[in-house]
Amino acid sequence: MPTIQISLKNIHSTILNPTPTLLSVVDKALSVKADNTWHSKAYKEGRWDGMYRLFSKHKRSFPTGLFPLVRKTLEAQNFIVEVIDERTGVVAPDISGLNMSLVGITPRNDQVIAVKNCVRAKRGLIASATGTGKTVIISLLVQNLPGNCLIFVNTKTLLSQTQRTIEALTGENVGLVGGGQAVFNRITVCTIQSASKLDPDWLTNLNSVIVDECHHVSAKSFYNTLNLIPALYRFGFSADPTDSSRLKVNSDFNALKIEGVFGPCIHTFTTEYATKNDILAKAEVRILPLKVSNLESATYAVAYGETVLNSKLNEMVIEVCQQHKGEQCLILVKTIAHGKALKKSIAAATGQRVEFLAGADSNDLRESVIADFKAGTLTCLIGSNIFKEGVDLPSVDVMINAAGDVAPTKQRIGRAVRKKYGKANTVVVYDFYIKGNPYLQGHSDKRLLIYKKDGHKVLKQ
């Protein structure tokens, strides 16, 4: 059998002695058919075959994270793969010498195992359901990985939250870049939005890079920035790093890009596992039926506006709030207008204080309102898309998913299933099954599937 040599490097790897047949085999393995190609002028004119590629035939190179896939592909074609490992960087101690102690807490055994898997593999994806303690894993990692480490987060709220948590758990000063600040330390936390502003020379001195909510990596500018960082250790964390339900356009290609940056999944914390082991609260998802009329042929935008923003759905949300008055109720919406309208209506119907938080609100206001909610002085909180990721609300008794879309469903329910302390470790979640429009009903079906796949108890009312 012929032997193929592959030069393995930190960002991209190269096939050193390819044959024409081999190039075609690898190209096919690292190519994905684009969605919605009929929109492309180049495709219509025959100038593009509609495939996205992550293998360069000219350079004979591919993203190093895809090496396991390339090796598997070549071995299936009866090639012998010889690896020339030319990766550079400072190697962490053997796993037997890792420091698994943190300040003030004792990591769970499954978190310790995840860290050991990461150190062994040097790169990979960690599928960590919301609320399963990924910040603890990240803290253990950066505590043990030598050299400079950069951690990317997606929001300003997560920026300060992650910095404070890692400092508290490790006892080490942590730098912060974003929100008008730029303080660099051995460990630095940075918003994804600030990534393109980082000094390329500083990036070359990083030994490890970690991305929280790594499903954002497929965005072009952030993807390009990560490909400037020659870090030896590369890890991505997300509840669903590769969009396993394929809810977004070009999900297959984006999943391949993400794997190319980090490598394959090396550890998984599922919602079902976390619930069974009392790491997360047990959720009872109550599906409320909603039939709409005269919208069978309406576009998604029209049907969404008529149903989610201006219909019986909002009356049903108010009824749920009245039913659970006095309990900690979190309502999640997609649009600013919807949140403002619900705030006014719920306050009028229940007579209680209601707050709505959106992206335009200052960090001080967000922190103040969230603190009131956690303390119980505020019992009804409405959140826009800023609540999709990174907001820790263990006090939630009832969550209403009034957004009507699909993609952030895992992240949204993650806000509610945080472990409860001092009370039953359970939460009630309400969602709506909308009939009468194919788009909205299709989204309802997908949300229902996500709840069931994650092992939640689902009750149709």
The DSSP annotation for 117-179 comes to HHHHHSEEEEEE-TTS-HHHHHHHHHHHS-SEEEEEESSHHHHHHHHHHHHHHH---EEEEET
d(CA 102, CA 169): 5
Which of 206, 237, 269 terminates a domain? The answer is 269
d(CA 318, CA 350): 8
Residues 283 and 343 in one domain: yes
Q: Is the pLDDT of residue 371 over 80?
A: yes
248 pLDDT band, cuts 50/70/90, is: low
Q: Is the pLDDT of residue 320 over 90?
A: yes
Residues 12 and 58 in one domain: yes
pLDDT of residue 421: 83
d(CA 252, CA 263): 15
Per the structure, the count of domains in the chain is 3
Residues 107 and 150 in one domain: yes
- Let me know: does 332 contact 415? Beta carbons within 8 Å: yes
Residue in the structure block whose two tokens are 């019992």? 379
Residues 244 and 107 in one domain: yes
In the chain, % of residues over pLDDT 70: 98
Residues 79 and 107 in one domain: no
- The most confident of the ranges 234-238, 402-406, 408-412, 413-417 is 234-238
Q: What type of residue sits at position 43?
A: Y
Structure tokens at 366: 């967000």
Q: φ and ψ at 331, to 5 degrees?
A: -115, 125
- Let me know: does 258 contact 251? Beta carbons within 8 Å: no
pLDDT of residue 416: 86
User: Of 115, 107, 183, 181, nearest to 150 (Cα)?
Assistant: 183
- The most confident of the ranges 48-52, 305-309, 317-321 is 317-321
User: Of 313, 349, 319, nearest to 334 (Cα)?
Assistant: 313
pLDDT of residue 91: 93
| 85 SS3 class | strand
- Let me know: does 124 contact 163? Beta carbons within 8 Å: no
Give me the sign of the Cα torsion angle 66, 69, 74, 77: negative
Residues 405 and 383 in one domain: yes
* CATH (domain of 193): 3.40.50.300
pLDDT of residue 329: 95
Query: What is each CA distance from 276 to 109, 271, 456, in whole angstroms?
Result: 15, 9, 11
pLDDT of residue 196: 84
- Do the domain assignments include residue 25? yes
Within a 10 A sphere around the Cβ of 210, how many other Cβ atoms?
27
Planar angle of CA 349, 353, 355, nearest 5 degrees: 105
pLDDT of residue 45: 83
Q: Is the pLDDT of residue 420 over 90?
A: no
Q: Is the pLDDT of residue 115 over 80?
A: yes
- Let me know: does 454 contact 460? Beta carbons within 8 Å: no
Helix axes 312-323, 336-350, angle to 10 degrees: 50
447 pLDDT band, cuts 50/70/90, is: very high
Residues 409 and 453 in one domain: yes
d(CA 256, CA 26): 14
- Do the domain assignments include residue 22? yes
- Do the domain assignments include residue 340? yes
35 pLDDT band, cuts 50/70/90, is: confident
Q: Is the pLDDT of residue 388 over 80?
A: no
Q: Is the pLDDT of residue 174 over 90?
A: yes
The torsion angle over the Cα atoms of residues 243, 303, 433 and 310, rounded to 10 degrees, is 120
- Do the domain assignments include residue 256? yes
Which of 85, 113, 135 terminates a domain? The answer is 85
pLDDT digits (tens, 9 = 90+) for 41-79: 888 888 988 899 999 999 999 999 999 999 999 999 999
Residues 427 and 289 in one domain: yes
* CATH (domain of 79): 3.30.780.20
Q: Is the pLDDT of residue 246 over 60?
A: no
Which of 250, 269, 288 terminates a domain? The answer is 269
- Bigger pLDDT: 302 vs 179: 302
Q: Is the pLDDT of residue 206 over 60?
A: yes
pLDDT of residue 390: 62
Q: φ and ψ at 207, to 5 degrees?
A: -100, -20
pLDDT of residue 244: 61
For residue 166, the enclosing domain spans 95-269
Q: What Rg, from alpha-carbon coordinates, does the chain have?
A: 24
As a three-state string, the secondary structure of 338-390 is HHHHHHHHHHHHHCCCEEEECCCCCHHHHHHHHHHHHHCCCCEEEECHHHCCC
310 pLDDT band, cuts 50/70/90, is: confident
Least confident residue range of 123-127, 256-260, 419-423:
419-423
- Do the domain assignments include residue 339? yes
Q: Is the pLDDT of residue 389 over 70?
A: no
361 pLDDT band, cuts 50/70/90, is: confident
- Bigger pLDDT: 185 vs 420: 185
Residue 38 Cα to chain centre, angstroms: 29
pLDDT of residue 266: 96
Residues 256 and 403 in one domain: no
Which residues are paired to 280 by β-bridges? 418
Q: Is the pLDDT of residue 423 over 90?
A: no
Residue 249, Cβ density class (10 Å: 0-12 exposed, 13-18 middle, ≥19 buried): exposed
339 pLDDT band, cuts 50/70/90, is: very high
Residues 286 and 371 in one domain: yes
pLDDT of residue 236: 97
- Let me know: does 135 contact 165? Beta carbons within 8 Å: yes
- Do the domain assignments include residue 90? no
pLDDT of residue 202: 92
Strand order in the sheet with 80-85: 61-63, 12-15, 3-8, 80-85
d(CA 108, CA 353): 38
d(CA 451, CA 448): 5
Residue in the structure block whose two tokens are 């400092």? 167
Query: What is each CA distance from 274 to 165, 447, 455, in whole angstroms?
Result: 21, 20, 10
pLDDT of residue 184: 94
- Do the domain assignments include residue 157? yes
Query: Would you mind telling me the total number of residues written for the chain in this entry?
Result: 461
Average model confidence (pLDDT) for the chain?
91
Residues 248 and 199 in one domain: yes
Residues 207 and 306 in one domain: no
Task: Report strand pairing: 80-85 vs 282-291.
Answer: unpaired
249 pLDDT band, cuts 50/70/90, is: low
Q: What's the mean pLDDT in 416-421?
A: 85
Task: Report strand pairing: 12-15 vs 61-63.
Answer: antiparallel
